[in-house]
Amino acid sequence: MSQPPLLSSNAAPASIPTASAQVTSTQVISAQVTAAQVTSTQVISAQVTIVVVPRERFSCTETSLQSIYEHTKIPFELVYVDGNSPPHIQKYLEEQAKERQFNLIRTEYYLFPNQSRNIGLASVKTPYLVFLDNDVVVSSGWLEALLNCAEETGAAVVGPLMCQKEPIHEEIHFAGGESHIWVDQLGRRRIREKMLSQGQRVNAVLPTLKRSETELAEFHCVLIRQSVFDQLGSLDEGMLNTKEHLDFCMSVAQLGEKVYFEPAAIVTYVAGPPLERSDLTYYMLRWSDEWTLKSLHHFRDKWNVVEDGYFTSKYKKLGWRRHHTIMGPFVRAITLGRGSRLMMRGLAGVDRLFNRYLTRRHARLQKQM
């Protein structure tokens, strides 16, 4: 599939090269993957390409990849985008690509999410694709359920029952949601976003969940009809690290296409602190304050919505993931579990400065590529 040009409204910041640019530091190992059950005399064409991309860390790579091969029983192709993983992960992926014959694309610099997705998208030739983060663990029958939903409903986008945390497949992260513009009494356009069933137990809620049309699916795991990109162009690289799923689903709705929620497909986003020191730099960059602000401002301007409490509440929480995942555990560890607000305030200032340095350093490095 040749990659369509970006829409003019989707222009990425000048300091960050788009995925449509040549990826200079890339290793590609190409092949088609089919399910283990297909014999040499039984040729079945894959209808789906799974595009795995980095989310916020690399230490879940092996668990996630193994779950794909263990629990996916229909033919598929796999494109794995490796955005500058540490050497031991790079080695593992290269070995797996040779053994399992999938397409491995590596860059020697970190990628923001839509950038990595667009790199993977350029290699997709099947009617459907699944974007899957590299910290997602799938369950048996997940891909069949997503594909069946798309085929039976005509949906352009299908999201699974997304769970969170460990033990896997027990706590709901997302079960469909709302994402649309509404107009208030003063004629101002406002954004509405709502995630359904977050934090509820799967065994308590699953019997009540049904396949249904929804307004929102998340990029943790989402199946998309490839023809959507013939109409939309590539994913908007102005959305650097947040709200890209809202932007995409609202764009799909503008085309008159449908988004569906399919609870028969169950996967888990394994949230939590980075598990290895080699995750830390990417995690801190991935949740860059500057990237978050640019993403929110781009979304606001693109959709012509008022900067109301939806946005100001997010400005106030800048850096909360780094505080929760890195600084909080560090402070509790050195204070023997007691914690220290004074120490957290001091570290927050250092964190902001270091985050600014990482973001600007990354921009300079990408300019040199």
Report helix, strand or coil for 159.
strand
Strands 128-133 and 48-53: parallel
pLDDT of residue 369: 78
pLDDT of residue 18: 45
pLDDT of residue 313: 98
Distance, CA of 302 to CA of 271 (rounded, Å):
30
How many of the other CB atoms lie within 10 Å of CB of 45? Answer: 10
pLDDT of residue 30: 39
**8-269 CATH fold:** Spore Coat Polysaccharide Biosynthesis Protein SpsA; Chain A (3.90.550)
Distance of CA 365 to the CA centre of its chain: 23
**What are the tens digits of pLDDT across the range 166-184?**
999 999 999 999 999 999 9
pLDDT of residue 368: 84
pLDDT of residue 23: 54
With a CB cutoff of 8 Å and minimum separation 6, the contacts of 308 are 188, 190
pLDDT of residue 139: 99
Local confidence pLDDT in tens for the 369 residues of the chain: 433 333 333 444 333 344 444 454 444 443 333 333 333 333 479 999 999 999 999 999 999 999 999 999 999 999 999 999 999 999 999 999 999 999 999 999 999 999 999 999 999 999 999 999 999 999 999 999 999 999 999 999 999 999 999 999 999 999 999 999 999 999 999 999 999 999 999 999 999 999 999 999 999 999 999 999 999 999 999 999 999 999 999 999 999 999 999 999 999 999 877 778 999 999 999 999 999 999 999 999 999 999 999 999 999 999 999 999 999 999 999 998 989 989 999 999 999 999 999 999 999 988 887
Residue 171 DSSP one-character state:
B
CA dihedral over 196, 234, 10, 153, signed as positive or negative: negative
Do the beta carbons of residue 125 and residue 46 sit within 8 Å? no
Give the Cα-Cα-Cα angle 117, 119, 125 (nearest 5 degrees). Answer: 90
Does the global pTM surpass 0.85? yes
> Which segments of the chain does DSSP mark as H helices, in order?
61-71, 87-100, 113-121, 142-153, 202-205, 227-232, 244-254, 280-286, 289-302, 309-316, 320-322, 328-334, 341-368
The domain locations on the chain are 8-269, 277-368
